[in-house]
Amino acid sequence: MAYVSLDSDQIKKAHKKHKYTKEQVEQLEKCMDPKTGPLFFMRTFMKIQHPTKGEMRFQPFPYQERLINSYNDHRFSIAMLPRQTGKTTCASGYLIWYAMFRPDSQILIAAHKYAGASDIMSRVRYAYEMLPSWIKAGVTQYNRNSIEFDNGSKIMATTTTENTGRGMSLTLIYCDEFAFVQPPEKAKEFWTSLSPTLSTGGKCMITSTPNSDEDQFAMIWKEANKRFDEYGNDKLIGTNGFYAMKAHWSEHPDRDETWADAERARIGEERFRREHECEFLIFDETLISSLTLADMEGVAPVETTGQVRWYKRPTPGHTYMVSLDPSMGTGGDYAAIQVFELPTFEQIGEWHHNQTPMNQQVRILQGINKHIHDAIMEKDATASPQIFYSMENNTIGEAALMRVMDIGEENIQGMFLSEPIRKGHRRKFRRGFNTTAKHKIDACTKFKELVENDKMKINSQLLISEMKDFVASGLSYKAKPGQHDDLVSACLLMTRMMKVLADFDPKIFEKWTDRTSEIIPMPIFGSFTG
């Protein structure tokens, strides 16, 4: 741990006596004012290191004054600001004011990375060292990541972990770039461990540029913006007790449309909207464009049958497809079923669970098919329901295929769909769909095309959530560590099933591709005993 001598001119010794002038006493009184003190202190005494102008006095812009006031006026505050707008500078100034003029304060700085925590602490130290000697609080310890003052206050800096702040009696905690704490579970666990500390009177300040719209920062931000009471009256703070403050890049006096155009050209539209427009766009390389994901919204189910969620009722004249991505059902990975309607390419149903035995997973698929059949026949007794279903035949999928044989294909409404396999000049068939690395990336490519071009309509919020965590991994895609992708996997299987069906249904083929002619194989249907 780095140690700085307490005998230097920049650091005031603990309990050092000082003779004050009348003007200095008046300025101290203004600094001590609980309402206007922070802004007066920073405007009058604080110096910063500008990246191009060097040392200069801190003169906050109007939006920075709003930010500082949001820190000071509210016990809980959350701020979302563009990159490089001085939010860390404002926080550093406020923290040094708080420590010096609110005795016995225990202040914790939590950043998503060690480098971030050290950077904030270096700004705090710089702000302190550049103050006039007479206004400084005396120091008893002065290290790289902590400062202790002779008034009993202490500032500490650390990285955000699941146990940060646990067991500590904190007066104030500052969370910097909270949206980028990874993995997301770490931020959730941190927030859970921190809540008891805050419930006893602690103050909390959170700042960040946005990332995913489903991480802990986004959850706090959304609740903070629910400002209406039960009578519809606008309140100052949100339902979670947080005050939300936001700034736009155009509020910075050095930024205009010319700057914005140049920045867009340099970093791209997606990053500009995330880092400067403060839109909740996924930072990671997701399969589906983060711009598309940001615009996607799930809908509430119109009905449920058991654990199956239905977003639209089956109707005559459409084709329905059901895909099963099975699991062991032992509490780990989820089994998932997707139901789509063709040629609308709309998701109309979904099921997933991680403790359902294999035989019951196939029974649920059987029930889904029956529900589709009965719903169509109820509306038109003369209809001939078109239902196709399938599953993977890899590893666990083989067991699922065996369960289909046990039940009897004749007892499941619809037709079992398989993928043709070419070997040399002969065409062989194997029940279901075999997934290889090539098959997966091909399915990912088509699924991406359908979703981003608005050819496929997704209704499930759970599926949209999984899509936001379905990211690049090597030459393929999979869920982020700690997340699941079973609903997405069932969609990828569904995409491959659609391709097979598109090969002989003109209406489906027309929406599937812009190609007008191609030599295509026919799908194979039939019983397991044929």
Specify burial of residue 426 (Cβ count, 10 A radius: 0-12, 13-18, 19+).
Answer: exposed
Torsions phi, psi of 416, nearest 5?
Answer: -75, 130
Residue 428 pLDDT greater than 70, yes or no = no
pTM passes above 0.85: no
Residue keyed to tokens 């060097």: 54
Report the percentage of the chain scoring pLDDT > 70: 91
**Of 424, 401, 428, the residue nearest 412 (C-alpha):** 401
CA dist 242 and 217 (Å) reads 12
Q: List the single range of 60-74, 168-182, 410-424 with lowest mean pLDDT.
A: 410-424
pLDDT digits (tens, 9 = 90+) for 147-201: 999 999 999 998 888 777 676 788 999 999 898 887 777 888 888 877 777 777 8
Residue 527 has pLDDT above 50, yes or no: no
- Ranges 189-193, 310-314, 523-527: which has the least confidence: 523-527
Residue (of 152, 137, 468, 123) closest to 294 by Cα position? 468
Q: Which CATH superfamily is domain 32-267 in?
A: P-loop containing nucleotide triphosphate hydrolases (3.40.50.300)
pLDDT of residue 517: 37
CATH for the 303-512 domain, from 3.30.420.240, 3.30.460.80, 1.10.3720.10, 3.90.79.10: 3.30.420.240
Residue 390 three-state SS: strand
**Using H for helix, E for strand and C for coil, what is the string for 27-43?**
HHHHHHCCCCHHHHHHH
DSSP-assigned letters across all residues of 25-83: HHHHHHHH-TTTHHHHHHHHH-EEEETTTEEEE----HHHHHHHHHHHH-SEEEEE--T
Which token pair is 242? Answer: 């947080």
Measured over all CA atoms, what is the biggest interatomic distance in the chain, rounded to whole angstroms?
Answer: 102
Distance separating alpha carbons of residues 272 and 251, to the nearest angstrom: 16
Q: Give tens-digit pLDDT for 140-152.
A: 999 888 999 999 9
pLDDT of residue 339 exceeding 60, the answer is yes
pLDDT value of position 344: 93
What does the block give as tokens for 161? 């972990």
* 315/149 Cα distance (integer angstroms): 73
Interval 389-411: pLDDT, tens: 999 888 788 888 888 989 998 99
Q: What is the pLDDT of residues 197-229, one digit of tens each?
A: 777 788 999 999 888 777 889 889 988 988 755
Report, as an integer, the average pLDDT of 276-282: 82
Give the pLDDT band (50/70/90) at residue 320: very high
d(CA 530, CA 523): 15
pLDDT tens digits for range 5-30: 555 678 888 888 888 999 999 999 99
Q: Specify whether the CB–CB gap between 511 and 346 falls below 8 A.
A: no
Distance CA 509, CA 523 (A): 14
Q: Is omega for the bond preceding 523 within 30 degrees of 0, making it cis?
A: no
- Range from 192-206, 226-240, 314-328 carrying the lowest mean pLDDT: 226-240
Taking each helix axis from N to C end, the angle separating 22-32 and 87-101, rounded to the nearest 10 degrees, works out to 110
What confidence score (pLDDT) does residue 23 get?
A: 95
Domain boundaries, the chain: 32-267, 303-512
The number of CA neighbours under 13 Å toward the Cβ of 199 is: 7
Tell me whether residue 262 is exposed, middle or buried, using C-beta atoms within 10 angstroms of its C-beta: 0 to 12, 13 to 18, 19 or more: exposed
Angle at Cα 218 formed by Cα 217 and Cα 221, nearest 5°?
85
| Whole-Å CA distances, 385 to 272, 325, 377 | 48, 23, 8
Specify whether the CB–CB gap between 446 and 287 falls below 8 A: no
The long-range contacts involving 187-192, CB below 8 angstroms and separated by at least 24 positions, are: 187/160, 187/215, 187/216, 187/217, 188/216, 189/162, 190/110, 190/160, 190/161, 190/162, 190/163, 190/164, 190/165, 190/216, 191/216, 191/220
Q: What's the one-letter identity of residue 255?
A: R
Mean model confidence pLDDT for the chain: 86
Q: Summarize pLDDT for 449-493 with one digit per residue, the tens.
A: 999 999 999 999 999 989 988 988 888 899 887 788 999 999 999
Residue 348 has pLDDT above 60, yes or no: yes
